[in-house]
Structure 1
Amino acid sequence: MFSSSGNTKKLSLGDEINYITASLHHELNMIIMSRLPLGLKNPKAFHEGLTSFSVLYSSFEAALDSHIRNPSTPSRTRAILEHVYIPAVHRASTFEADLKKYSPSSEKDELTKGTPARAYVLNHIRRATNETPHVLLAYCHCLYMALFAGGQHIKAAIARSAVRKLDLAQHQTVPEEAKKSAPGIALFTFDGRSTKEEQELRQKLRDGIRQAEELLTPKERAEVLAESCEVFKLTRRLVDELDGICGTAPTVLVATKQYTESESTVPSVESQASGRSWIKRLDRKRVETMVKGFVCVSFMVGYLVYLNLSSPSAATEGLEGNGN
């Protein structure tokens, strides 16, 4: 929250969720993106990943639907949840569609049935949303917004991977049909909507969360924020388990990183040669010196900013500049 002229202005619920989960979000994103190429090369791995995430989405969507349809749900609770009850963004059916397309390539790649992490996630969501239904706001914000944002990058990677499996020698451009029909892409597609329509749907969800938060008590708001952190921890639990199921050992992650780099646009011969010569000139000692210098400069700048902001005159000027 921010203070201005004695008045307290709170962050919106969505912004506060983003703020308190920033480190968890960043770490999880790096982990997922490092493993994605493995899934694109291995149908079983991708199927296992979809299965684990389907538990996450299907569980909270089932709870949301149950509270909306249950006549015994308190009117205020239903009013809160109705603001984020947007069937067009529900993902349970799209997971089913993708799972049917992404099947193991051979009988030896037998799929995993139930797992401890999946069972834990299912039980946690059932318990948390039954005791405090309003925490479903945390799931709607964290998981749906992830699909609208980072999910689109995954969607593009899946499409590129599917296209590369075709014989593109006869094509001057990438076939649009290949992009739209790539297995595993339904999850990130919202009823065939255009990019503009998807943005409108995203904005509708944002507006719904803003309207819902106005009905929350301070205690309920704090519970939603706490559960937002749990959403990322639950997701991390699923991903960590997938490493065991799919054998994503550190050595495999090295190969995954190399695959990720090969998926990117190949630079020109001249740029590759220039890059190699530049890297050769930078020995380890020089890199360490550069890093230390950057850290020192960053520390000095941060300290000067701190001194400036902590002075009474700076604080006064800041308030006057806000026009409050």
Structure 2
Amino acid sequence: MASLQTPTQLLSPPPSPAPQNLSTEINTATRSIHTRLNKLIVTRLPLALPPIAKTPELYAHGINTFGDIYLVFENCWRVLIAETDKSDAHDLSHDNKLRQWLSQLVPPGLWRSDAIKKDLEYLETATGTDLEAVTNEQLHSFTEHIYRQTREKPHVLVAYSWIMYMAIFSGGRWIREQLTESGPEFWGVNHESDKHDYWIHGTLRPGFTLFCFSGNRDGEDIKTDFKTRLEKAEELLTERERKDIIDEAQYIFEQCVAIVEALDKQLMTDLELVKTLAAREAKNGTSHLKMAPTRAVLPENATAQTDEPKSANFIRAIVVGILAVGFYQSYRWQYGDLERA
């Protein structure tokens, strides 16, 4: 007797895949370009740190360039907050609800503009550097885009907050360790009392407070607060708005790559030296980066090469990308062990 089979049309359809939250969607969509940026930065970073860099001057140019991204998108955000404060509290439209949520998304203590301005002021005084001497047309084009895009689609500010702030919390910790290794004298901190207050027992270190947070939790409470506030995106954003945010996230990474590549051309980067560093990185792997990344991958003749004008320009070029190395560790956190963040 033939066995009875359930008609196909009566079978339950396979369960739909669980929907991803917005932050995971951003991470997934930007994986490829994120990896590309990582490679650009990791192969340039070694020449930006001691023992080759003797003063914070080159670091200052890096913060001045990539810091502009923070200054611009945070300024756009503050404009939105000011406008929202004047809006009708009884307006129940989607647009008003969206703006109300955005105006409260960034927790106190997370804004980075004040820290960047203080760092730049300190570094200009300590080094006597004219930070406006190096300009980047690619950066100018990007900041113009930020002003225009956030005005037309304010929800894309979510992309800037997720990428740029999470880079501070993950890669920024690693960068801070490398900068701290240079010692207080490198940063112009020479008085013993200042060394004790700012270096040994403090976290707000002159010159790179961008990567520092007040309080005994060093910003971890702020990060948790931000991620909690971001959860409301799952119920508030439309599909179109989610797509806008993901598209903007990809664009942010593309622009960071373009900024570094534009500087390669502008300052005549020694690409042969970059290839040498990349080959060393491929041979040695990246496990050494936590301890001493700059010493482990330098070619034997790197110090001698820095005396040449071409290599000096190269150092300036890659230091402009030092802030973006936060994406390197951010990548490991976002894709390697997401739940630990």
TM-score (norm: length of structure 1): 0.67
Alignment-derived partner of residue 63 in structure 1: 76
Structure number, greater radius of gyration: 1
Matched, 1:216 2:237: yes
CA–CA distance in 1 between the matches of 2:265 and 2:60? Answer: 14
Please tell me whether the aligned partners of residues 107 and 226 of structure 2 are also in contact (alpha carbons under 8 angstroms). Answer: yes
Letter in 2 for 1:66: V
1:111-260 aligned at under 5 Å gives the runs 111-112=132-133, 114-162=135-183, 165=186, 177-178=198-199, 180=203, 182-190=205-213, 192-194=214-216, 196-244=217-265, 247-253=268-274
Letter in 1 for 2:143: L
What is the aligned-residue identity percentage? 27
Please tell me whether the aligned partners of residues 124 and 130 of structure 2 are also in contact (alpha carbons under 8 angstroms). Answer: no
Please tell me whether the aligned partners of residues 55 and 121 of structure 1 are also in contact (alpha carbons under 8 angstroms). Answer: no
Alignment-derived partner of residue 326 in structure 2: none
Residue 123 of structure 1 deviates from its aligned partner by 0.5
Residue 249 of structure 1 deviates from its aligned partner by 2.0
Alignment-derived partner of residue 30 in structure 2: 21
CA–CA distance in 2 between the matches of 1:183 and 1:146? Answer: 20
Please tell me whether the aligned partners of residues 162 and 182 of structure 1 are also in contact (alpha carbons under 8 angstroms). Answer: no
Please tell me whether the aligned partners of residues 13 and 213 of structure 1 are also in contact (alpha carbons under 8 angstroms). Answer: yes
CA–CA distance in 1 between the matches of 2:108 and 2:68? Answer: 18
SS in 1 for 2:232: helix
* RMSD between aligned residues: 3.5
> Gapped runs of 5+ residues in structure 2?
1-12, 89-94, 188-194, 281-287, 297-341
Residue 203 of structure 1 deviates from its aligned partner by 1.5
Instruction: Tell me which stretches of 4 or more aligned residues in structure 1 moved more than 6 Å.
Output: 104-110, 254-258
CA–CA distance in 2 between the matches of 1:183 and 1:253? Answer: 30
Letter in 1 for 2:159: A
Residue 141 of structure 1 deviates from its aligned partner by 0.4
- Which deviates more, 53-62 or 68-77? 68-77
Matched, 1:76 2:97: yes
For residues 153-189 of structure 1, the C-alpha deviation after alignment (integer angstroms, 9 at most, x for no partner) is 11111101235859xxxxxxx9784364654320111
For residues 222-270 of structure 1, the C-alpha deviation after alignment (integer angstroms, 9 at most, x for no partner) is 1111111011112222222333455542245478788x98945989xxx
- Which deviates more, 35-44 or 114-123? 35-44
Q: Which of 103, 120, 123 is 1:102 aligned to? A: 123
Q: Which of 58, 63, 69 is 1:50 aligned to? A: 63
Aligned residues: 255
CA–CA distance in 2 between the matches of 1:116 and 1:265? Answer: 29
Q: Which has the higher helix share?
A: 1
Residue 147 of structure 1 deviates from its aligned partner by 0.7
SS in 2 for 1:89: coil
CA–CA distance in 1 between the matches of 2:108 and 2:249? Answer: 21
CA–CA distance in 1 between the matches of 2:180 and 2:247? Answer: 36
For residues 183-206 of structure 1, the C-alpha deviation after alignment (integer angstroms, 9 at most, x for no partner) is 43201112x233x35222112111
CA–CA distance in 2 between the matches of 1:98 and 1:229? Answer: 29
